[in-house]
Amino acid sequence: MHIPPLYKRPGWQRFLAGSVIGAFIAYFIFVFMYGEMQEKWIEENLALRGELLELKETHNALVENHRLLDEQAKEGIEIKEITIQFTNLETFKIEHDRIMIQQLNEAVKQEANQMIGLNLDQISNSTDLLIRAIENKTIIIDDFKFRAKVRKMIVTETLQLSIELSKGD
């Protein structure tokens, strides 16, 4: 059996040439579309990897913060310093006398220094004792006698005392 030589006919030649050219054009379009799709996939993959890395770092930071807060909660918050504010220095006209204010601070801190380093749980049991110790003491500076009355006490890492002075006996 013999295959007829159709490739010699101009109609078939145009068909075969068109098919080959069409195949080349289709192949180049396919390569272009595949390259664009691959490029978008790589960009999306890199963006997702960056987001994943950021989320892992955030997660690790949150876990570390949670661990530190848990340790602090187990240990309890300790008092590290004491700040004292006098509310009525104007009535005694000593608001500008820094030396006397410093001496008043020293006298009150002498009573409150026992609270430094204690946990808040321990302090909650002894706040009344601290207030009584400060209020029962007569502070003598030069020829002046003062009695302190605790108006406000805030207990955090810093023990803040708001004290009102009155003339002593």
Task: Please name the amino acid found at residue 139.
Answer: I
Cα-based distances in Å from 109 to 32, 37, 87, 94, 126: 80, 73, 16, 19, 16
Q: What's the confidence (pLDDT) of residue 58?
A: 94
Comparison of pLDDT for 160 and 3, the residue scoring more: 160
More confident residue, 164 or 1: 164
- DSSP one-letter code for 119: B
- Tell me what pLDDT residue 1 has: 56
Is a pLDDT exceeding 80 seen at residue 2?
Answer: no
pLDDT tens digit string along 84-133?
A: 998 988 888 888 888 888 888 898 888 888 888 787 777 878 888 888 88
Distance CA 53, CA 59 (A): 10
pLDDT exceeds 90 at position 19: yes
Is 0.85 surpassed by the pTM of this model?
no
Q: Which residue has the tokens 């790589």?
A: 42
Segment 26-63, tens digit of pLDDT: 999 999 999 999 999 999 999 999 999 999 999 999 99
Confidence band, pLDDT 50/70/90 cuts, at residue 3: low
Let me know: does 105 contact 94? Beta carbons within 8 Å: no
Q: What is the pLDDT of residue 115?
A: 83
Q: Alpha-carbon distance 137 to 139, whole Å?
A: 6
Q: What is the mean pLDDT of residues 73-94?
A: 83
DSSP string, 135-162: HTPEEEETTEEEEEEEEEEEESSEEEEE
Alpha carbon 5 to chain centroid, angstroms: 84
- What pLDDT, on the 0 to 100 scale, is given for residue 98? 84
Cα 52 to Cα 57: distance, rounded to the nearest angstrom: 9
What's the pLDDT at 64? 94
